[in-house]
Amino acid sequence: MSGTKESGRQVPQAIVEATLRAADARGVSAADVTLRDVAQEAGISRSTLLRRLGGTRQALDEALRAAGVEPGGRKPVRERAIEATGALISRQGLGTVTFERVAAAAECSVPSLYVTFGGRDELLRAVFERYSPLVDVETFLAAPHGDLEDTVRRLYRLLVDALKREPRVLPALLAEVFARPADENVQLVFQNVTPRLLAGIGQWLAAEAAAGRVRDLPPLLITQQMTSPIFLHFLLRPVTGGFAGADLPSEDEAIETFTRAFLRAVALPPPAPEH
């Protein structure tokens, strides 16, 4: 059997391949795969594997390097799959995401994706979690923040940064919403997004309403009133900027304009001092 010879020890190619399969299946780097897992994947006992390695793991690590794989340098399957799926959505849309295409792009096996995510739905949730503004917004609102105006302004900056983030997953998903709102893939993503958006921005606005600082409007409507104009502007901005004579404001100017417009629409004047 062919193999890689390092430090006087011939490591069978089948052992190298079994190590890579075990790493993919468990979503870890080759350095984190146990010899027991390698032996199981290779269909041999651990003691037999050790004999073939000369009693030390070093020979296996050297064989992996000789094969072009740094044992600790390869991202886990989970990371590679999320990045590959994000790129697929950005370039070709949500409907193109299959485990077969993700596995090919992430250089892993389809079974390893099932082990890591359980199914396509969980993969899409992980991708949206990574590339949407939800986590950033939740983290920001959970920490101390400024007054109403400053908070709106900073939330807008988080939303704009998410729209610009590569791969452009959020713009691609929003485009799918307008093109195919009844599509089951779109429904799946936004069934997970809407409750979290309401739990984040919606609950914060509800607290502002309870404190008498903004109008007491239905949470979904006031959340959409805040987010929809800035989403639309920045989604159309790349196209609008190409029109001759278009007077496109800077990003900061646009954020400032939308901040003031939202506050004019929903902010309440402070109560008059009691005499």
Same fold, 3-66 and 77-119: yes
Instruction: List per-residue pLDDT tens for the chain, 275 residues long.
Output: 445 444 445 888 999 999 988 888 877 778 778 888 899 999 999 889 988 888 878 888 888 888 777 776 667 788 889 999 999 999 998 888 999 999 999 888 888 888 889 899 899 889 988 888 888 999 999 999 889 999 999 999 999 999 888 899 989 888 888 888 888 878 887 787 778 888 899 999 999 999 999 999 999 999 999 999 999 999 988 888 767 556 889 999 999 999 999 999 999 998 777 66
Cβ neighbours of residue 40 closer than 8 Å, sequence gap 6 or more: 22
CATH superfamily of 132-266: Tetracycline Repressor, domain 2 (1.10.357.10)
* Fold exhibited by the domain 3-66: Arc Repressor Mutant, subunit A (1.10.10)
Report, at the CATH architecture level, how domain 77-119 is classified: Orthogonal Bundle (1.10)
CA 38 to the chain's CA centroid: 30
pLDDT score for 8: 42
pLDDT score for 59: 87
Taking the C-alpha atoms of residue 93 and residue 250, their distance in angstroms, rounded to an integer, is 29
pTM: 0.72
pLDDT score for 246: 67
265 touches 205 (CB < 8 A): no
**Domain boundaries along the sequence of the chain:** 3-66, 77-119, 132-266
Listed in sequence order, the DSSP H helices in the chain are: 13-26, 35-42, 46-52, 58-66, 77-92, 99-106, 110-117, 120-131, 134-142, 148-164, 169-179, 184-197, 203-210, 219-240, 251-266
